[in-house]
Structure 1
Amino acid sequence: MNELISYPDGIRALESGYGRPQLAAIHIVVDEGRAAIVDTGSNDSVPRVLSALAMLGIEPGNVEWVMLTHIHLDHAGGAGSLMCALPKARLLVHPRGLRHMIDPSKLWEGTAAVYGAERAYQLYGRLVPVPPERIVPATDGLELRMGKRLFRVFDTPGHARHHICIWDDSAHAFFTGDTFGLSYRELDVDGRVFVLPTTTPTQFDPEAMHESIDRMLSMQPQAMYLTHYGRVTDVPRLGADLHRLIDAMVAVARAARGDEVARHVEILAGLEQVIREEAGRQGWALDEEQTLELLRMDLELNAQGLGIWLDSQRVAEPQPA
């Protein structure tokens, strides 16, 4: 059975089925009998989306937009398959991601390099291309209307250079993909939510992430809708936590010594210590062992991303004459 969470302003969060429960959400926005879908999950998520639309009384032909915050496959892996089932929908994607939706071969190669080809196929299946005439480049400031609803595109690099966040003027809220961090529902304490930055491969840029977060905060949003996972409020507090934790994670990376495996192990150990300190600060519901187990895969990916960022900084440094 699909889990469909109802939020204010005609917004629903659908459990994508990716990984464990409450890991990845697909958001469905309904206005005057029309719908927009924000992020798609993987190919396995497509039947869930179609079932949810039926539950909401929305015909596939009344879905106007499929909006991708970015093209990492837990957000966009099912886009091609879903577009096949939505005959009138247009796909909104960052200009840097457009060619990868038309021809996803390079996108697949990059994902297989991170997860391994066998695991990547288990997670995402075969990627389906999208006809170019159905794609709209998500340029910064682009405004889209659906019924009485206005969406606006914000270019928000930091997690990836092909990342956008989508402002919903009716809800006075953003759909944030991964730019406003990840919120693990298992760590909630009496309804108080928390967020952690994601520094995963291969385009993490801390300065750009700080700027993107501040740009969103300047809109004074009432809520953020995170792909991982769902609606969060108390936005100024969460934004401050993100800024602080981005700096802490970068400090861990800068302090690491050695190369390759040795450096990676040191960064990973440093990230685990950041999490221990944050657990003490926030009073999370899980104990230390449970928390580290919950975050294990993300900490591994974050350590990889920080290592790649460190290497990029070294390449960019001016060489002595």
Structure 2
Amino acid sequence: MNPQGIRTIDTGFVRPGFDAAYLIVQNGRGAFIDCGTNHSVPRLLKDLSDAGLDVSQVDWLILTHVHLDHAGGAGELLAKLPQARLLVHPRGARHMIDPSQLWAGAMAVYGEDVMMKAYGRLRPIPAERVVEAPDNYEIDLQGRILRCIDTPGHAKHHMAIYDQQSNACFTGDTFGLSYREFDTEQGAFILPTTTPVQFDPEALHASIQRLLALKPEAMYLTHYGRVENVEQLASKLRDSIDAMVSVALRIGGSPDRHRHLVDALTELYMTRTAEHGWRGDRDALVHWLGTDIELNAQGLGVWLDRTRA
């Protein structure tokens, strides 16, 4: 646990160092931020115990958004936390109360076997335990104010959480991805995530700027962990958003568009990581970023279709 009472929990989703949840501890009470999948719940409960808290001492589970790598285990976790309530963006609340639409959408892409192995069956959350958080909604965790900030661009149901005590933001996917495997002497490497289906570059730029206006000392990313040098990373993040949009517009409606998007993003990230001082080859890049390249290509394709429509 860092001096500000923030614990980083590896949810175990996909691989070590890929997907984080956080536990904030304040004066004997706790709040989780994001939770991974059903399979992550034992890890979160163990970390809670390691922090010296029991399940009755957790007041909140706060979701940055309802994509399943962030929120898939919410129902199972809440079932273990008798005093906790769920705090979620108003656009995401209904999907936590009745997750059937989330499940059906993911099932259509992945199939039931993959869904059960990766996420587990989604458990509904009683409506009376769900609190909607409009923009600037605040909760008080034993005198520690956590403010919810509407941050669309990655998803319309996305919010970041500003912790005044640590002067840090829990950014979900709004402030991009920064895997520790790409850290160099220059620091952390960062890139945007354009996962389908609601990528909106203008909204994402605005959300990043809104977080910067708070002048935070650090960002806590779901993928993955704490990053500092926030202004420098934001500049690189914004530049990469524009570069990825340019790639998508250049490819446009060409035949075999998805393959071209995957190839172009791979080359873009090879260039950017090399500029950052990372010395891995293409195979290593695909090993660490292959899933994100695929999802980013899908999301850019959806965005292209939407803008052309």
Q: TM-score range by the shorter chain?
A: over 0.9
Q: Give the partner amino acid of 1:84.
A: A
Matched, 1:115 2:146: no
Query: Which residue does 1:16 correspond to in 2?
Result: 11
Partner of 1:312: 306
Identity level (%): 52
Q: Secondary structure at the match of 2:91?
A: helix
Q: Deviations over 1:152-184 (max 9, x none)?
A: 010000110000000000010000000000111
Q: Aligned-pair distance for 1:77?
A: 0.4
Partner residue in 1 for 2:80? 85
User: Which residue in the other structure is 2:56 paired with?
Assistant: 61
Determine helix, strand or coil for the equivalent of 2:223.
Answer: coil
Deviations 1:15-63 (A, max 9, x none): 1011100001110000000000000100011111111111111111110
Residue aligning to 2:284: 290
Residues 252 and 304 in structure 2, CA contact (< 8 A), matched pair in contact too: no
TM-score when normalising by structure 2: 0.97
Given that 2:185 and 2:277 are in contact with CA atoms closer than 8 Å, whether structure 1 keeps it comes out as no
Moved over 4 A (4+): none
**1:266-318 superposed Cα distances (whole Å, 9 cap, x missing partner):** 11111111111102211114233201221111101100000000111011xxx
What is the aligned-residue RMSD (CA, Å)? 1.2
Which of residues 90, 98, 102 in structure 2 aligns to 1:103? 98
Give the unaligned 5+ runs of structure 1.
1-5, 316-321
TM-score normalised according to structure 1 size = 0.94
Figure out how many residues of one structure are paired with residues of the other and give that number: 309
CA contact (8 A) 1:159 1:199 kept: yes
Contact 1:70 1:164 in 2 (8 A): yes
Q: Within 2, Cα distance between the matches of 1:8 and 1:112? A: 41
Per the alignment, residue 319 of structure 1 pairs with none
- 2:227 counterpart of 1:265: no
Query: 1:68-108, CA deviations, whole angstroms, 9 ceiling, x for partnerless residues?
Result: 00000000000000000000101001111111001000001
2:211 corresponds to which residue? 216
Q: Does 1:175 align with 2:170?
A: yes
Correspondence 1:142 to 2:137: yes
Which of residues 20, 23, 29 is equivalent to 1:25? 20
User: How far apart are the structure 2 equivalents of 1:183 and 1:246?
Assistant: 14
CA distance in 2, matches of 1:308, 1:116: 20
Structure 2: where are the runs of 5+ without partners? none
For 2:146 and 2:178, locate their aligned partners in 1 and report how far apart those are by CA, in whole Å: 23
Q: Take 1:269 and 1:287, find their aligned partners in 2: how far apart are those partners? A: 15
* Amino acid paired to 1:282: H
Q: Which residue of the other structure, out of 215, 226, 244, is the alignment partner of 1:231?
A: 226
2:180 corresponds to 1:185: yes
